Structure 1
Amino acid sequence: MKKELDQTLENEPLYLNKKNSAINQLKSRLRSSSSNEIRYSLNEKLYDEYKSYQSDSALVYAKRSLNSAYKNQNNIQINKAQLNLASILGTLGMYNQALEILNSMEPKVIPELKGEFYWTKRIIYGGLSSYANDTEEKNKYNRLGDHYRDKAILNLPKNSIGFVLALSGQFLSQKKYNQAINLLLPYFNKTPKTDPNRAVIDYLISENYKAKKDKTQEKKWLALSAISDLELVKKENISLRELAFILYEEGDIESAYEYIKRSLDDAVFCNSKLRTYEISKMLPIINETYEAKNKSAKSQLIVFLISASVLSLFLLAVLILLFKQMKKLAKAQKNVESANNQLSLLNEQLQSFNTKLNQTNSELAETSLLKEIYIGRYMDQCSIYIGKMEEYSQKLKVMATAGKVNDLVSTVKSKAFIDKELKEFYTQFDQTFMLLFPTFIEEFKSLLTEPDSIQIKKGELLNPELRIFALIRLGIKDSAKIAEFLRYSASTIYNYRSQIKNKAKGPREQFEMEVLLIGSSKKEAN
């Protein structure tokens, strides 16, 4: 499926030409039309062409469509045009203006469009929820979005695609994932590729598989949704971005970078404020990893070129030596045996040197591997142990609460045991890490402009910031994994990393690469 998606990306100019041709035909008809009824219809069609392609142009035609509807004095057309205008204002991030239009038309919206009206409100509040900074505000907008989604379900025609999409969203929020998938699959099979709703259906199916933690199916349906978006030139999209983050988590950095960059280009082209905002939070993470990978590849190439050059010089020197030996052999046959013996001895020494060098490299690689395996197993076992203790403590709480062992309640409600085990776990981790990297703290501070800002409490070896970068030194770079290990939120880990990198002596983007060299032979060589 990824191969098909990549091919679709390459064929973008074909789809773009088709899109622009359709738009130009509509514009040509609009210029030659004098009837307000026809102009309303053409303006609405142009709005449909532009709404997920170029938001600014879609706004223009939404306003023109509304103007034609007022001239026609057609309430259905007026309501429809107002909904289109509110919808595109939401895409542009102008949520207050969108709500003003919706709230003003609510008392007089015609019955046939009530379902679409409530669904538009649900989308607006969904966008506000994505922008919300605090949990209370986000929950408020989510409740409003769910409220208007439920009202849309009650008012949309039961056989319409809008009803199906709204109902599947309700199933998803109620954790009825199989019901949602079974509802959507028949519509996927009968929805033509030219229908913009096809991509939405695919995306909703992927969301249900995501909730079921079925990563394979989630990627498949995201790819199908992204392909549909690309073929219809929908720049206001989400599937390609979601797929990019999954590939990033799986280690396919190049594809993740290509997809997220393409998503950002599309969002900027469309002027979709929400999509641009969402992508801007992910892009630095993927971009940083991509740049680090490229830098590593360049370093390896330089080492290879240097090695090849040295080897070439060495071979050239050997050839020159052999040539001189051949000239000497022609002049003095008596020295043949001596020269051959010397050459044989040189070859033996060279082979012996290569053998020892290979042996040394193997020993170093083995030592490094053992170190990584030891630390990895150690952390896994400790983390698993703590998880089991937490689970056991939870079970004891349930038993105590049920009244089975009354005098156990005070014990299980206390976190003293877990805190003690965590403290011991981190102490053992600190001791093991410092045993392997005894100069870590000194070298780490030397990378900072304010080394005294790293304060360690009495009785501790490492503080939280040092533990984060200790894990990075061990090769664990994923903030989510670090957060899980240290029992912090991912945002806390991200803030810690950002604060420390802001204090770096050298370039901020190279700081973590410098941390990876602490205690290594490469660091000493530099």
Structure 2
Amino acid sequence: MNRFLKILIAFLVPIFLFAQNNSDALLKELDQTVADYAVYSNKKELEINKLKEQLSQTTTDLQKYTIYGKLYAEYKSYQSDSALMYARKSFQIAEKLNDIQKLNDAQLNLASIMGTLGMYKEATDILNRIEIKTSPELRGYYLTVNSTVYGYMSDYAASIQEKKKYIILTQKYRDSSLQYYKPQSSAYIMAKSSAFLDDGKHDETLTLLLNYFPKINNNSPDRAVIAYIISQAYRQKKDTEQEQKWLTISAISDLQLAKKEYISLRSLAFLMYENGDIDRAATYIKRSLEDALFCNARLRTYEISKMLPIINEAYQEQNETNRFQLMLFLISVSILSLFLLALLFLLFKQMKKLSKAKQEISLANNALSELNQELNTFNEKLNDTNYTLTEANLLKEIYIGRYMDQCSHYIGKLDEYRRKLNVMATSGKMNDLISAVKSKEFVENELAAFLAAFDNTFLQLFPTFITEFSALLIDDEATQRKEGELLNTELRIFALIRLGIKDSAKIATFLRYSVSTIYNYRSQLKNKAAGAREDFESQVMHIGTHLH
């Protein structure tokens, strides 16, 4: 059981956090929309001005009727007085055209906007005058306008009896309109969901609207209406979080379409007040009142005027509380500032003492630093000397061992050569003896063996010599060797230099070359140096400096 609860909590917590973040994001979007209300109003005015420009270029009554209808639609939820004016002009043109369909449509528009303006008697007089049988395709609209007007009247009713009567008429006309709308139309969906709500069928309302809502275009005025009805369904379910979400969606849509006659923002303001978000409540109710006054929507103005004092009073109380807290904060900060000033004064005195002590310490540190520097320099020189001695000792040890081996080897070979010559002499092979004495083969073979032994020994000591030496040259032509060679002449010259034999005469004697030949080799390679020519041989001396 405990395991099941843990899994359930782990599943629900992310959903709750996501919903919370989503709600906050929607409120922030609404706050920005409220702040940018002038942007959307200007956009609306631009659309209206385009229609007025078309109207100024229109000559026929039929064209005028069409544009008057568009202007009425633009002004209907934006500025009721202007909407009434264009509805009347549409009616006048329809009378001139003597078109019963247009005449009835214009009268329904008149009645609808009169209902918004609170002209209920005038609206009902027009509705009673219309012979809707002559325009069967307008019957749904006719019943909806009746339902809307009586809905306004029920909200404004002074007595319970009148209110009940108008509510019955509102529901009657609304329910009747359902048979004249297509089941998938917005008008049908709105009427059907309102009927469900009146019957307390909030689940049926949500099933109907939540499936329909994603299909609504963002620029459709029906989007706000549908979202508002969804919020009321959640209100019936007492789901405040979802109610707030859908009221916010509805309010955003209203404001972005520059509607001035709406319900959602006002309802959301009161919900924010109940939730303790007084700042938002005050901002939203103020915007709602300004829009209602601009539109001259009397019912909305009346509804807002009942809520405004409640929210305004809470807002004033919050401001008083904030002022008191601010005053308390300022007093606390002032006391704390005085305390800090006293503390700073004491710290300043202490800092002066510390500063003097630091100066003395600094002088001592400087003296120590100089001594340390001298000691470090001495240590570095000592390390270099030790390293040089270590390297020299290693070279001496290796080469002395090799030298003794080589000498012993040569003594044996000379003794063997002596015996060979003695045999030739005693056996009377004078011609062979003379040829052997004159031949350089023995010396050349021994020299080659000597050089091979030198190459092998040197590369054991400095295995990276060839690679590092090549890196010191512009090209690696000088380090190219014949097949079977470990070192060539150029490499052997600088191998001897690396071992500390820098005298060209000694190198010439060692390699069996003339001094001028050795000098030329050295000069040619210096000319090919990648770095400064004069530093070349000193760089060679640093090859393989980490001997083990």
Q: Same fold (TM over 0.5)?
A: yes
Secondary structure, aligned partner of 2:220:
coil
Partner residue, 1:188: 213
Partner residue, 1:266: 291
| Structure-2 change in CA distance of 1:31 and 1:216 (3 Å) | same
Partner residue, 2:30: 5
Whether 2:47 is the aligned partner of 1:22: answer: yes
Partner residue, 1:161: 186
How far apart in 2 are the matches of 1:112 and 1:47?
20
Alignment of structure 1 residues 471-482 onto 2, 5 Å: none
Whether 2:218 is the aligned partner of 1:230: answer: no
Q: Which of 144, 148, 151 in structure 2 is aligned with 1:126?
A: 151
What are the superposed Cα offsets for residues 200-241 of structure 1, whole Å, 9 maximum, x if unpaired? Answer: 111111111111111121111111111110111001010011
How far apart in 1 are the matches of 2:279 and 2:314?
9
| Structure-2 change in CA distance of 1:326 and 1:214 (3 Å) | closer
Q: 5+ residue gaps in structure 1? A: 328-526
Partner residue, 1:32: 57
| Structure-2 change in CA distance of 1:306 and 1:75 (3 Å) | same
Quote how far apart the aligned CAs of 1:314 are.
Answer: 5.1
Q: Which of 59, 63, 73 in structure 1 is aligned with 2:98?
A: 73
How far apart in 2 are the matches of 1:162 and 1:128?
21
| Structure-2 change in CA distance of 1:269 and 1:325 (3 Å) | same
| Structure-2 change in CA distance of 1:188 and 1:315 (3 Å) | closer
Quote how far apart the aligned CAs of 1:41 are.
Answer: 0.4
Whether 2:97 is the aligned partner of 1:57: answer: no
Quote how far apart the aligned CAs of 1:185 are.
Answer: 2.4
Secondary structure, aligned partner of 2:182:
coil
Quote how far apart the aligned CAs of 1:69 are.
Answer: 1.1
Partner residue, 2:67: 42
User: Is the contact between residue 12 and residue 231 of structure 1 (CA under 8 Å) also seen in structure 2?
Assistant: yes
What are the superposed Cα offsets for residues 461-520 of structure 1, whole Å, 9 maximum, x if unpaired? Answer: xxxxxxxxxxxxxxxxxxxxxxxxxxxxxxxxxxxxxxxxxxxxxxxxxxxxxxxxxxxx
Partner residue, 1:220: 245
User: Is the contact between residue 206 and residue 219 of structure 1 (CA under 8 Å) also seen in structure 2?
Assistant: yes
Alignment of structure 1 residues 107-118 onto 2, 5 Å: 108-118=133-143
Partner residue, 2:437: none
| Structure-2 change in CA distance of 1:296 and 1:68 (3 Å) | same
User: Is the contact between residue 15 and residue 233 of structure 1 (CA under 8 Å) also seen in structure 2?
Assistant: yes
Secondary structure, aligned partner of 2:31:
helix
AA at the equivalent of 1:202: A
Quote how far apart the aligned CAs of 1:309 are.
Answer: 2.4
Q: Which of 90, 103, 116 in structure 1 is aligned with 2:128?
A: 103
Secondary structure, aligned partner of 2:53:
helix
Q: Which of 274, 288, 292 in structure 2 is aligned with 1:249?
A: 274
Partner residue, 1:87: 112
AA at the equivalent of 1:17: N
AA at the equivalent of 2:332: S
| Structure-2 change in CA distance of 1:199 and 1:315 (3 Å) | closer
| Structure-2 change in CA distance of 1:325 and 1:242 (3 Å) | closer
Quote how far apart the aligned CAs of 1:307 are.
Answer: 2.8
How far apart in 2 are the matches of 1:321 and 1:7?
51
What are the superposed Cα offsets for residues 144-186 of structure 1, whole Å, 9 maximum, x if unpaired? Answer: 1111111111233334221121111111111222222222223
Quote how far apart the aligned CAs of 1:308 are.
Answer: 2.5
| Structure-2 change in CA distance of 1:182 and 1:323 (3 Å) | closer
Secondary structure, aligned partner of 1:202:
helix
Secondary structure, aligned partner of 1:100:
helix
Q: Which of 325, 331, 334 in structure 2 is aligned with 1:309?
A: 334
| Structure-2 change in CA distance of 1:26 and 1:299 (3 Å) | same
User: Is the contact between residue 114 and residue 156 of structure 1 (CA under 8 Å) also seen in structure 2?
Assistant: no
How far apart in 2 are the matches of 1:322 and 1:151?
86
| Structure-2 change in CA distance of 1:314 and 1:152 (3 Å) | same
Partner residue, 1:492: none
How far apart in 1 are the matches of 2:29 and 2:132?
48
Quote how far apart the aligned CAs of 1:6 are.
Answer: 1.6
Quote how far apart the aligned CAs of 1:248 are.
Answer: 0.8
What are the superposed Cα offsets for residues 120-160 of structure 1, whole Å, 9 maximum, x if unpaired? Answer: 01111111111112222211111111111111112333342
How far apart in 2 are the matches of 1:206 and 1:325?
67
User: Is the contact between residue 40 and residue 258 of structure 2 (CA under 8 Å) also seen in structure 1?
Assistant: yes
How far apart in 1 are the matches of 2:289 and 2:66?
32
Please identify the structure whose Cα radius of gyration is greater: 2
What are the superposed Cα offsets for residues 265-294 of structure 1, whole Å, 9 maximum, x if unpaired? Answer: 111111100000001111111110111011
AA at the equivalent of 1:90: G
Partner residue, 1:276: 301
| Structure-2 change in CA distance of 1:189 and 1:319 (3 Å) | closer
How far apart in 1 are the matches of 2:350 and 2:191?
88
Partner residue, 2:163: 138
Q: Percent identity?
A: 54
How far apart in 2 are the matches of 1:75 and 1:237?
32
How far apart in 2 are the matches of 1:168 and 1:324?
79
How far apart in 1 are the matches of 2:77 and 2:190?
18
User: Is the contact between residue 132 and residue 138 of structure 2 (CA under 8 Å) also seen in structure 1?
Assistant: no
Quote how far apart the aligned CAs of 1:17 are.
Answer: 2.2
| Structure-2 change in CA distance of 1:117 and 1:312 (3 Å) | same
**Count of residue correspondences:** 327
User: Is the contact between residue 55 and residue 64 of structure 2 (CA under 8 Å) also seen in structure 1?
Assistant: yes
How far apart in 1 are the matches of 2:50 and 2:348?
78
User: Is the contact between residue 132 and residue 142 of structure 2 (CA under 8 Å) also seen in structure 1?
Assistant: no
Quote how far apart the aligned CAs of 1:65 are.
Answer: 0.9
How far apart in 2 are the matches of 1:69 and 1:194?
29
AA at the equivalent of 1:3: K
AA at the equivalent of 2:100: N
User: Is the contact between residue 178 and residue 188 of structure 2 (CA under 8 Å) also seen in structure 1?
Assistant: yes
User: Is the contact between residue 69 and residue 87 of structure 2 (CA under 8 Å) also seen in structure 1?
Assistant: yes
How far apart in 2 are the matches of 1:192 and 1:51?
19
| Structure-2 change in CA distance of 1:299 and 1:146 (3 Å) | same
Secondary structure, aligned partner of 1:193:
coil
User: Is the contact between residue 236 and residue 270 of structure 1 (CA under 8 Å) also seen in structure 2?
Assistant: yes
AA at the equivalent of 2:257: L
